[in-house]
Amino acid sequence: MIKYDSNAGTFFLAGDTYSYSFRLYEGKCESVHFGAASDGVPFSLRKYTYRNFSPMIEDKRGSRSFGDMPLEYSEYGRGDYRTPAVQIEGDGFASTDYRFSGCEILSSHPQAGGLPVFRGGETLRVDFYDAVSDSSLKLYYTVYPSGLVRRAEISAGGKPFTVRRLASFCLDLNGCYEMTALVGGHGNERRRRTWKVDTGKSVLESNRGTSSHQCNPFTALAEKDAGEEHGRVYGASLVYSGSFRIEAEVDQLHNTRLIAGYNPDDFSYPLAKGETLSSPEALIVFSDSGYGGMSRAFADTIRDYLIPEKYVYASRPIVINNWESTYFNFDEEILCGMLDKLKGLGVDMFVLDDGWFGHRDDDHSSLGDWFIYSKKLRGGLAGIIKKARECGMRFGLWFEPEMVNSDSRLYREHPDWCIHTEGRTPLTGRYQLVLDFSRPEVVDNIFSQMEKILSSYDISYIKWDMNRHLTDMPDFVTQHKFMLGVYDLARRIVARFPDLFMEGCSGGGGRYDLGMMAFFPQIWCSDNTDAQARCLIQYGSSFPYPLSVSSNHVSICPNHYSGRTVPFATRGEVAMLGAFGYELNPYQLSAEEHASIQSQTEQYRRMEHLVLKGDLYRLSNPEENGIFCMELAAKDKSEARITFVQFAMQPDPTPFRIYPRGLDADAVYTVCGDVTDNEQFTGRTLMNAGMDFPEVWRDNEAHIITINKATHGTKKRV
């Protein structure tokens, strides 16, 4: 719901779980409330303090300063010394003073100049104008039941200028908070870290040209002592896959400003007369039921309004990918042998990974040459696709569209198509260069090559990889335009092949963000397939992102990344908490492991609806105690499934007690698993009295508990 009261100058926005209000003050939008539902704009309940040395709006007693006001969008150079959301520089001006010029409630979700956007919702646009720079600023607010999407747009009127900063939003919150970030590196993505921000600034950012393995474009600000299911928590996640910056700043009044948008280190964007630039959208959510409530608000909004509608709730293909089993060393015979061994086990998509194109025998050559490597695949892809079909599987193919090797036909024909600075040799990473996707002719070429392959064969799935970060920029514009080129290619592929299922990837989870999720219903979560490491990575990833996005495979042990051996059953259970698949050579499995593939795929199909549509409850913090415990509960409270993995057995074990969530207190449930078999309890008993997991006798042993609502007529037990 959106209400604008033009007499009072107040704006009131409300979803099901939150309300958001601001008011006009001296032509600015002053923030009043973002949090749990209220019935109006409680402006008269606000008290403001003035601190000296911030210039006043009017220099007289009782006047206020922009430097102390909670603002909807902060500017540079007019008395607000905190972080600006917008900063521009033109001939003779370096400050702005945007004043309200109107607003409109829009009938459809506005586009954002080629950036990915959410769909649906009710959108408010608030307009501002600055006379000196002759520029206009628009703030967009789209209301969804459990989240709010914000973005900003700036346009040049009669004077050109350079945009140095453009944030998606500014959120001025009362008080100080604990900040959560998802940080790490390749094979160790999105590890949860939380610290108190009570002084200065905390900055989360990527300047790598991608959202990166190192720091995810997400943050949470939580009140002190908030936990998984209690306390007030704000979450924010950018719909962008390039360099970004998120800043939390505590001011002199001990209030916190949160800003997120383009990374100013990588960005300086000239706008000519009449041109417009949009920030990315950002999803912000509020929870008064802790981090768990925040994650469920994120998941519901992302699933219902961002991830491609057609696939978000559709049953996912169970994949066998050949990467970890063959790497580059395969031919049709080897692949067909693997498929034979998997026939009838419930695997339904064979994905041929890196090495099928150009003359690629290792990672030194052929990126950019998207035609079949006939030495490995003599009859093209037809033979392997036919074999996959005979074995009950469809076929998927790997691409890395944004890259080129200097040893390639494409590079020899167009050596200037890689991102470079004239006069300097561009750096390589994994022996590859980055194609300049800011140039439409480069995107056109890659689109034509991909289209040719995809239309010549029966291909149902692609895995879109990206294996190095950006360097050697010729200016501060190309990096963002590169990202727009990537989105353009993804959009064109989807439009041309609407039935193609696309999995995202960037050396594992290097681009695990909402920008990618607008096109890719699932993303390869990490190159690290070790189930213990994955517990930590998947735990962190679950804070802002739905489990269904996380593509997880059972791989061989000792694990190629970590060297660790984890029970096959645990590998299966951890991988099932997402889009499930395999990445192994079936000939290397014991007979028992091989046989259990079928029971795993059947199990996955039985629980898949919980992964796709369920509510997530994190019952433990594995970063603190080495115990991973996640519950998936059906939204109608009919069932729940709990996965428990303890990393190491303990010499003096204490049973680990959990309190399931998301059940109907009055209903009777049958509980199965290691804690009890077929006993019945009320939801109230289960949620309030909890249950103990038995002592663990082996490192990384997985335990599962299923909780199902008993059918009518069952005698109530406890």
Rounded distance, CA 173 to CA 256, Å?
5
Minimum distance from residue 190 beta carbon to ligand DGJ (Å)? 15
Please tell me whether residue 537 adopts helix, strand or coil conformation.
helix
Interacting residue with ligand DGJ among 79, 293, 507, 660 (CB under 6 A): 507
Cα 449 to Cα 442, 463, 469, 489, distances in angstroms: 11, 16, 23, 12
User: Is 298:285 a contact under the CB 8 Å cutoff?
Assistant: yes
Smallest gap, in angstroms, from Cβ of residue 45 to ligand DGJ? 52
Q: Token pair for residue 605? A: 């199909």
**All residues at 6 or more sequence positions from 423 whose CB lies less than 8 Å from its CB, including other chains:** none
Minimum CB separation of residue 354 from ligand DGJ in Å reads 4
**H helix count then E strand count, the chain:** 14, 38
Residue 129 or 330 with smaller CB distance to ligand DGJ: 330
Q: Select from 57-65, 272-280, 480-488, 505-513 the region that touches ligand DGJ (CB under 6 A).
A: 505-513
Helix (H) or strand (E) holding 122: strand 122-130
The answer to the question of residue 582 lying near ligand DGJ (CB under 6 A) is: no
Q: How far apart are CA 585 and CA 260, in angstroms?
A: 44
**Largest CA-CA distance found in the chain, in angstroms, rounded:** 85
Comparing CB distances to ligand DGJ, the nearer of 153 and 353 is 353
Query: Of residues 68, 172, 251, 513, which has the active-site annotation?
Result: 513
Residue 510 beta carbon to ligand DGJ: minimum distance, rounded to whole angstroms:
8
Give the x-and-dash track for 354-393 against ligand DGJ (CB under 6 A). Answer: x---------------------------------------
Integer Cα distance of 99 and 132 in angstroms: 11
Q: Is 80 in the site for ligand DGJ (CB under 6 A)?
A: no
Strands of 492-534, DSSP E: 501-504, 522-524
Cα gap 615→636, rounded to integer Å: 10
Length of the chain: 718
Q: Which of 123, 237, 406, 467 binds ligand DGJ (CB under 6 A)?
A: 467
> Least distance from C-beta 551 to ligand DGJ, angstroms?
9
Q: Check if 608 is active-site.
A: no
16 a catalytic residue: no
Rounded to whole angstroms, how far apart are CA atoms 332 and 352? 11
Stretch binding ligand DGJ (CB under 6 A), from 16-24, 500-508, 644-652, 689-697: 500-508
C-beta of 34 vs 411, nearer to ligand DGJ: 411
Name the residue nearer to ligand DGJ (CB basis): 524 or 669: 524
Q: Which residue is nearest to ligand DGJ (CB)?
A: 354
Site string for ligand DGJ, 180-199 (x = CB under 6 A): --------------------
CB of 679 to ligand DGJ, least distance (A): 43
Is residue 352 at the binding interface for ligand DGJ, with CB under 6 A as the rule?
no
DSSP string, 32-92: EEEES--SS--GGG------TTSPPSSSSTT---TTTS-BSS-BSSSS--S--SEEEEETT
What does the per-residue mask of binding to ligand DGJ show for 94-133, with x meaning CB under 6 A? ----------------------------------------
The residue (of 466 and 547) whose beta carbon lies closer to ligand DGJ is 466
Q: Cβ 616 to ligand DGJ, closest distance in Å? A: 24
Phi, psi of 259 (to 5 degrees): -135, 140
Q: Is 520 in the site for ligand DGJ (CB under 6 A)?
A: no
Contact pick of 323, 399, 464, 561 for ligand DGJ (by CB under 6 A): 323
| Six token digits for residue 652 | 């003096």
Choose, by CB under 6 A, the member of 178, 353, 513, 593 that binds ligand DGJ.
Answer: 353
The one catalytic residue among 30, 402, 530, 593: 593
Question: Per CB under 6 A, does 465 bind ligand DGJ?
Answer: yes
How is 318-377 classified by DSSP, letter by letter?
A: PEEE-HHHHTT---HHHHHHHHHHHTTTT--EEEE-S-SBTT-SSTTB-TT--SB-TTT-
Whole-number Å distance between alpha carbons of 439 and 434: 12
Q: Least distance to ligand DGJ from the beta carbon of 330, Å?
A: 12
Q: Does residue 505 touch ligand DGJ according to CB under 6 A?
A: yes
Could you tell me if 687 and 660 are in contact, meaning their C-beta atoms sit under 8 angstroms apart?
yes
Q: Which residues are catalytic?
A: 513, 593
Q: Return residues touching ligand DGJ (CB under 6 A).
A: 323, 353-354, 398, 465, 467, 505, 507-508, 524, 527
